[in-house]
Amino acid sequence: MRIVLLGYMGSGKSTVGKLLAQHLNFQFLDLDDYIESQLNASISSIFKDKGEIYFRKKETELLHKALHEMDNFVLSVGGGTPCYANNMNIILEETPWVFYLKCSIPTLVKRLSRGKEHRPLIAHLKEEEIPEFIGKHLFERSPFYCRAHKTILCDNKSAQTISTEIQNDLV
Protein backbone atom coordinates (compact mmCIF):
# COMPACT_ATOMS: atom_id res chain seq x y z
CA MET A 1 0.00 0.00 0.00
CA ARG A 2 1.25 3.45 -0.97
CA ILE A 3 -0.33 6.46 0.72
CA VAL A 4 0.41 9.94 -0.62
CA LEU A 5 -0.30 13.14 1.28
CA LEU A 6 -0.43 16.38 -0.64
CA GLY A 7 -1.38 19.96 0.07
CA TYR A 8 0.08 23.41 0.42
CA MET A 9 3.25 23.96 2.43
CA GLY A 10 2.40 24.13 6.10
CA SER A 11 -0.69 21.93 5.78
CA GLY A 12 0.81 19.27 8.06
CA LYS A 13 1.75 16.63 5.50
CA SER A 14 4.99 15.61 7.23
CA THR A 15 3.59 15.71 10.75
CA VAL A 16 0.47 13.73 9.83
CA GLY A 17 2.47 11.42 7.59
CA LYS A 18 4.85 10.43 10.39
CA LEU A 19 1.96 9.66 12.74
CA LEU A 20 0.09 7.70 10.09
CA ALA A 21 3.16 5.69 9.10
CA GLN A 22 3.90 4.90 12.73
CA HIS A 23 0.36 3.66 13.35
CA LEU A 24 0.33 1.52 10.20
CA ASN A 25 3.89 0.29 10.80
CA PHE A 26 4.86 1.68 7.39
CA GLN A 27 7.93 3.61 6.32
CA PHE A 28 7.52 7.39 6.16
CA LEU A 29 9.14 9.31 3.33
CA ASP A 30 9.15 13.08 3.00
CA LEU A 31 9.88 13.81 -0.66
CA ASP A 32 11.81 16.99 0.17
CA ASP A 33 14.03 15.08 2.61
CA TYR A 34 14.50 12.34 0.02
CA ILE A 35 15.52 14.93 -2.59
CA GLU A 36 17.98 16.51 -0.15
CA SER A 37 19.56 13.14 0.63
CA GLN A 38 19.77 12.11 -3.03
CA LEU A 39 21.25 15.44 -4.16
CA ASN A 40 23.29 16.01 -1.01
CA ALA A 41 22.00 19.59 -0.70
CA SER A 42 19.20 21.44 1.08
CA ILE A 43 16.08 22.46 -0.84
CA SER A 44 16.95 26.10 -0.12
CA SER A 45 20.43 25.74 -1.58
CA ILE A 46 19.14 23.84 -4.61
CA PHE A 47 16.67 26.67 -5.32
CA LYS A 48 19.38 29.28 -4.74
CA ASP A 49 22.22 27.62 -6.64
CA LYS A 50 20.45 25.81 -9.47
CA GLY A 51 16.98 27.37 -9.64
CA GLU A 52 13.42 26.12 -9.45
CA ILE A 53 13.39 24.51 -12.90
CA TYR A 54 16.32 22.26 -11.98
CA PHE A 55 14.65 21.45 -8.66
CA ARG A 56 11.34 20.55 -10.34
CA LYS A 57 13.08 18.22 -12.82
CA LYS A 58 14.86 16.40 -10.01
CA GLU A 59 11.65 16.33 -7.96
CA THR A 60 9.79 14.52 -10.76
CA GLU A 61 12.65 12.08 -11.29
CA LEU A 62 12.91 11.24 -7.58
CA LEU A 63 9.12 11.07 -7.08
CA HIS A 64 8.97 8.48 -9.85
CA LYS A 65 11.91 6.58 -8.31
CA ALA A 66 10.35 6.55 -4.82
CA LEU A 67 6.97 5.35 -6.08
CA HIS A 68 8.52 2.53 -8.06
CA GLU A 69 11.14 1.29 -5.61
CA MET A 70 9.13 1.01 -2.41
CA ASP A 71 5.90 -0.36 -1.05
CA ASN A 72 3.97 0.03 2.22
CA PHE A 73 4.87 3.63 2.90
CA VAL A 74 3.40 7.05 3.52
CA LEU A 75 4.80 9.70 1.20
CA SER A 76 4.52 13.41 1.91
CA VAL A 77 5.13 15.47 -1.22
CA GLY A 78 6.08 19.13 -1.48
CA GLY A 79 3.33 21.69 -1.94
CA GLY A 80 4.20 22.25 -5.58
CA THR A 81 4.94 18.65 -6.49
CA PRO A 82 1.48 17.77 -7.89
CA CYS A 83 1.46 20.91 -10.05
CA TYR A 84 4.56 20.32 -12.13
CA ALA A 85 5.50 18.03 -14.99
CA ASN A 86 3.23 14.99 -14.97
CA ASN A 87 3.54 14.47 -11.22
CA MET A 88 -0.15 14.32 -10.30
CA ASN A 89 -0.80 11.72 -12.99
CA ILE A 90 2.21 9.72 -11.80
CA ILE A 91 0.88 9.80 -8.23
CA LEU A 92 -2.69 8.87 -9.19
CA GLU A 93 -1.51 6.00 -11.40
CA GLU A 94 0.58 4.52 -8.61
CA THR A 95 -1.95 4.47 -5.78
CA PRO A 96 -5.64 4.83 -4.96
CA TRP A 97 -4.71 6.39 -1.60
CA VAL A 98 -4.05 10.06 -2.32
CA PHE A 99 -5.15 12.56 0.35
CA TYR A 100 -5.31 16.34 0.07
CA LEU A 101 -4.75 18.02 3.45
CA LYS A 102 -6.71 21.22 2.97
CA CYS A 103 -6.18 24.25 5.21
CA SER A 104 -7.66 27.73 5.00
CA ILE A 105 -5.49 30.72 4.15
CA PRO A 106 -5.56 32.09 7.74
CA THR A 107 -4.42 28.72 9.09
CA LEU A 108 -1.61 28.51 6.55
CA VAL A 109 -0.51 32.11 7.22
CA LYS A 110 -0.33 31.40 10.95
CA ARG A 111 1.69 28.22 10.46
CA LEU A 112 4.04 29.54 7.77
CA SER A 113 4.77 32.89 9.40
CA ARG A 114 6.48 31.07 12.27
CA GLY A 115 9.26 29.56 10.15
CA LYS A 116 9.15 31.39 6.85
CA GLU A 117 12.94 31.72 6.69
CA HIS A 118 13.07 27.94 6.07
CA ARG A 119 10.61 28.14 3.16
CA PRO A 120 12.38 29.21 -0.06
CA LEU A 121 9.19 30.40 -1.76
CA ILE A 122 8.18 32.80 1.02
CA ALA A 123 11.43 33.61 2.85
CA HIS A 124 11.75 36.93 0.98
CA LEU A 125 8.17 38.08 1.65
CA LYS A 126 7.04 40.62 4.22
CA GLU A 127 4.45 39.35 6.72
CA GLU A 128 1.64 41.34 5.11
CA GLU A 129 2.43 39.81 1.69
CA ILE A 130 2.03 36.19 2.80
CA PRO A 131 -1.80 35.92 2.69
CA GLU A 132 -2.01 37.19 -0.89
CA PHE A 133 0.87 34.95 -1.96
CA ILE A 134 -0.79 31.88 -0.43
CA GLY A 135 -4.17 32.81 -1.91
CA LYS A 136 -2.69 33.13 -5.38
CA HIS A 137 -0.86 29.82 -5.07
CA LEU A 138 -3.93 28.01 -3.76
CA PHE A 139 -5.98 29.36 -6.66
CA GLU A 140 -3.37 28.02 -9.10
CA ARG A 141 -2.79 24.72 -7.32
CA SER A 142 -6.32 23.77 -6.29
CA PRO A 143 -7.15 22.05 -9.61
CA PHE A 144 -4.24 19.68 -8.97
CA TYR A 145 -4.88 19.19 -5.26
CA CYS A 146 -8.58 18.51 -5.85
CA ARG A 147 -7.72 15.51 -8.03
CA ALA A 148 -6.74 13.64 -4.85
CA HIS A 149 -9.00 10.74 -3.99
CA LYS A 150 -10.00 12.31 -0.70
CA THR A 151 -9.88 15.81 0.76
CA ILE A 152 -9.33 16.14 4.51
CA LEU A 153 -10.28 19.50 6.03
CA CYS A 154 -7.55 20.28 8.55
CA ASP A 155 -8.41 23.59 10.23
CA ASN A 156 -8.65 23.30 14.01
CA LYS A 157 -7.79 19.59 13.99
CA SER A 158 -4.82 17.91 15.60
CA ALA A 159 -2.41 15.86 13.54
CA GLN A 160 -3.63 12.78 15.41
CA THR A 161 -7.25 13.49 14.45
CA ILE A 162 -6.28 13.92 10.80
CA SER A 163 -4.22 10.72 10.88
CA THR A 164 -7.18 8.84 12.34
CA GLU A 165 -9.49 10.24 9.62
CA ILE A 166 -7.13 8.93 6.96
CA GLN A 167 -6.85 5.53 8.68
CA ASN A 168 -10.63 5.28 8.72
CA ASP A 169 -10.70 5.91 4.97
CA LEU A 170 -8.26 3.07 4.35
CA VAL A 171 -10.68 0.43 5.57
> What is residue 24's predicted lDDT score, i.e. its pLDDT?
97
Asked if pLDDT for residue 171 goes beyond 80, the answer is no
Considering the domain boundaries, does residue 61 fall inside one?
Answer: yes
pLDDT in tens, 36-67: 999 999 988 998 899 989 999 999 999 999 99
pLDDT in tens, 107-123: 999 999 887 877 777 88
> What is residue 59's predicted lDDT score, i.e. its pLDDT?
96
Please answer whether residues 141 and 77 qualify as being in contact, where contact means their C-beta atoms are separated by less than 8 angstroms: no
Count of domains observed in the chain = 1
Considering the domain boundaries, does residue 11 fall inside one?
Answer: yes
Q: How many CB atoms lie within 10 A of CB 27?
A: 12
Considering the domain boundaries, does residue 103 fall inside one?
Answer: yes
Considering the domain boundaries, does residue 170 fall inside one?
Answer: no
Considering the domain boundaries, does residue 169 fall inside one?
Answer: no
> What is residue 125's predicted lDDT score, i.e. its pLDDT?
87
> What is residue 137's predicted lDDT score, i.e. its pLDDT?
93
Domain of 72, CATH number, reads 3.40.50.300
Rounded CA separation 14/75 (Å): 8
Considering the domain boundaries, does residue 151 fall inside one?
Answer: yes
Coil vs helix vs strand at 127: helix
Helices (H) and strands (E) in the chain, counts: 7, 5
Considering the domain boundaries, does residue 171 fall inside one?
Answer: no
pTM for the full predicted model: 0.93
> What is residue 113's predicted lDDT score, i.e. its pLDDT?
86
pLDDT-based confidence at residue 95 (cuts at 50, 70, 90): very high
Considering the domain boundaries, does residue 9 fall inside one?
Answer: yes
Which residue segment(s) compose the domain that 61 sits in? Answer: 2-164
152: left (phi over 0), alpha (psi -120 to 50) or beta: beta
Asked if pLDDT for residue 34 goes beyond 90, the answer is yes
